[in-house]
C-alpha cells in the first residue's frame, strides 16, 4: 500500500487513509504542525468547529497554498457541524469555510447525532440546564439536519457529507431517508473498542469508516477521562516489536488493514513522522486474528463528563 493510498468514497471522491486530527492541538503550535505534516506527506486534516482552532488551521493552509507547498486540490479537509448548529447548517458551514479560508470542504460531518440548544452560529456551546444536564433540542430531527447537509453538496460548498458517532440503528435510519448517502461514519475505534459489527455494517452499505481516537487517545484521554490506552498493552507491545515498529505504528497499520481511515493526533513533530510510517509493512492474517482477542468493548472518550448525560447509555 503506497503512502498515497486512499479510500474511494461513495461520492466518488478519494479520502487519504491517514489524516491528522487537530482536536486539542494548541493554537500556537498549529502552523508548524500543519506545515510539517504536509512536508511529511499528510494530505488529510480532520477538523471541527468545536475544536475552536479552525482559524489557525485556515491560516496554516493559506500559507501552504501561497508558498506553493501544496495545492488545494491535493488536500482533503474535513470539518464538523456542532450540536448547537443543527438548525443552522448552511450558516455553520459557511462560518467554518470562512475560518478555514476555503471555498469548499472535502467532507462535512454531523459531529454527534444530537441537536442541542442553539446559542449563535459557530459558538459551539453545550448549554446545560439547572441540573447540569445537556440542553437537548427535541424539535429538530436528524433527518431534517441531514437534508440540510445534502443541500450543501448542491451548493458546491461540500464535496462529501457524512455522520459521526452514529450507531447501527442511526446509520441504518440515515441510509433510509438519505437522498445523498453518508460517505463516512467517523466513530471511536481502536484495539480496545473494535466495534466490528458497526464497522462491517457501514462498509457493507458503502459508508466508509474513519477511526477517531485511533490510538485510544493515549495519554490525552488518560488525563481527560481517566481511560487506559491499548498502546501500553503488553500483547500489542509484543506484536509491534515483532514487526520492528512502535505500538502506535502497529495500531495504525491494524486500523488501515481493517479498511478504516485513521486520523491520529500528535503535537510532537517526531510523532507526526512516526505515525505516517505505516505503509511499508503488513500485519499477517494470523496477527490480525490475534488482535480480535484484545477487544474490551471499551470507550476511552466519554463526553458525558461535560454533558451530565451519557448519550451512549
Ligand X SMILES: NC(=O)c1ccc[n+]([C@@H]2O[C@H](COP(=O)([O-])OP(=O)(O)OC[C@H]3O[C@@H](n4cnc5c(N)ncnc54)[C@H](OP(=O)(O)O)[C@@H]3O)[C@@H](O)[C@H]2O)c1
Question: Which residue numbers are catalytic?
Answer: 51
- In the stretch 101-140, what mask flags binding to ligand X with x, by CB under 6 A? ----------x-----------------------------
Positions in 210-229 near ligand X (CB under 6 A): 212-220
> 33 or 121, CB closer to ligand X?
33
Report, in Å, the least distance between residue 69 CB and ligand X: 21
**Is the Cβ–Cβ distance between 170 and 180 less than 8 Å?**
no
Compute φ and ψ for 81, nearest 5 degrees: -80, 125
Q: Which of 271, 273, 279, 294 is close enough to bind ligand X by CB under 6 A?
A: 271
Report, in Å, the least distance between residue 68 CB and ligand X: 27
> 39 or 179, CB closer to ligand X?
39
Report, in Å, the least distance between residue 18 CB and ligand X: 11
- In the stretch 173-212, what mask flags binding to ligand X with x, by CB under 6 A? -------------x-------------------------x
What is the secondary structure of the chain as a DSSP string?
Answer: --TT-EEE-TTS-EEESB-EE-TT--HHHHHHHHHHHHHHT--EEE--GGGT-HHHHHHHHHHHHHTTSS-GGG-EEEEEE-GGGTT-HHHHHHHHHHHHT-S-EEEEEESSS--B---STT-----B-TTS-B-B-TTS-HHHHHHHHHHHHHTTSEEEEEEES--HHHHHHHHHH-SS--SEEEEE-BTTB--HHHHHHHHHTT-EEEEESTTTTHHHHHHHH----GGG-HHHHHHHHHTT--HHHHHHHHHHHTTEEE----S-HHHHHHHH--SS----HHHHHHHHTT--------THHHHSS-TT-
> 152 or 231, CB closer to ligand X?
231
With CB under 6 A, what is the number of residues at the site for ligand X? 30
Determine, following the binding rule CB under 6 A, whether residue 85 of this chain makes contact with ligand X.
no
β-pairing verdict for 14-16 and 6-8 = antiparallel
> 92 or 215, CB closer to ligand X?
215
Stretch that binds ligand X, among 88-96, 130-138, 150-158, 259-267 (CB under 6 A): 259-267
Report, in Å, the least distance between residue 70 CB and ligand X: 19
> 86 or 111, CB closer to ligand X?
111
Q: Which of 21, 113, 191, 255 is close enough to bind ligand X by CB under 6 A?
A: 21
What residues line the site for ligand X (CB under 6 A)?
Answer: 21-23, 46, 111, 164-165, 186, 212-220, 231, 246, 248, 263-268, 271, 274-275, 301
Amino acid at each position: 500500500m503506497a503512502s498515497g493510498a486512499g479510500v474511494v468514497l461513495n461520492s466518488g471522491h478519494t479520502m487519504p487513509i491517514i489524516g491528522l486530527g487537530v482536536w486539542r492541538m494548541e493554537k500556537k503550535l498549529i502552523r508548524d504542525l500543519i506545515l510539517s505534516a504536509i512536508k511529511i506527506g499528510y494530505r488529510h486534516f480532520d477538523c471541527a468547529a468545536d475544536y475552536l482552532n479552525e482559524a489557525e488551521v485556515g491560516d496554516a493552509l493559506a500559507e501552504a497554498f501561497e508558498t506553493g507547498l501544496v495545492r488545494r486540490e491535493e488536500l482533503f479537509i474535513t470539518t464538523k457541524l456542532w450540536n448547537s448548529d443543527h438548525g443552522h447548517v448552511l450558516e455553520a458551514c459557511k462560518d467554518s469555510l470562512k475560518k478555514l479560508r476555503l471555498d469548499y470542504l472535502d467532507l462535512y460531518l454531523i459531529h454527534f447525532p444530537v441537536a442541542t440548544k442553539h446559542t449563535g452560529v459557530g459558538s459551539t456551546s453545550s448549554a446545560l440546564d439547572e441540573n447540569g444536564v445537556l440542553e437537548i433540542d427535541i424539535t429538530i430531527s436528524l433527518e431534517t439536519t441531514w437534508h440540510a447537509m445534502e443541500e450543501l453538496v448542491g451548493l458546491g460548498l461540500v464535496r462529501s457529507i457524512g455522520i459521526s458517532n452514529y450507531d447501527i440503528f442511526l446509520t441504518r435510519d440515515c441510509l433510509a431517508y438519505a437522498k445523498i448517502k453518508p460517505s463516512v461514519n467517523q466513530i471511536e475505534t481502536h484495539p480496545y473498542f473494535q466495534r466490528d459489527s458497526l464497522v462491517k455494517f457501514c462498509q457493507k452499505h458503502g459508508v466508509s469508516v474513519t477511526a477517531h481516537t485511533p490510538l485510544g487517545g493515549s495519554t490525552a484521554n488518560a488525563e481527560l477521562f481517566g481511560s487506559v490506552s491499548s498502546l501500553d498493552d503488553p500483547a500489542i507491545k509484543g506484536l509491534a516489536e515483532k514487526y520492528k515498529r512502535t505500538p502506535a505504528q502497529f495500531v495504525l497499520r491494524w486500523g488501515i488493514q481493517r479498511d478504516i481511515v485513521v486520523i491520529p493526533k500528535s503535537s510532537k513533530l517526531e510523532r507526526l513522522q512516526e505515525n505516517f510510517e505505516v505503509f511499508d509493512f503488513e500485519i499477517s492474517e494470523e496477527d490480525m486474528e490475534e488482535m480480535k482477542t484484545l477487544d474490551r468493548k471499551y470507550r476511552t472518550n466519554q463526553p458525558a463528563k461535560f454533558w451530565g448525560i451519557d448519550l451512549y447509555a
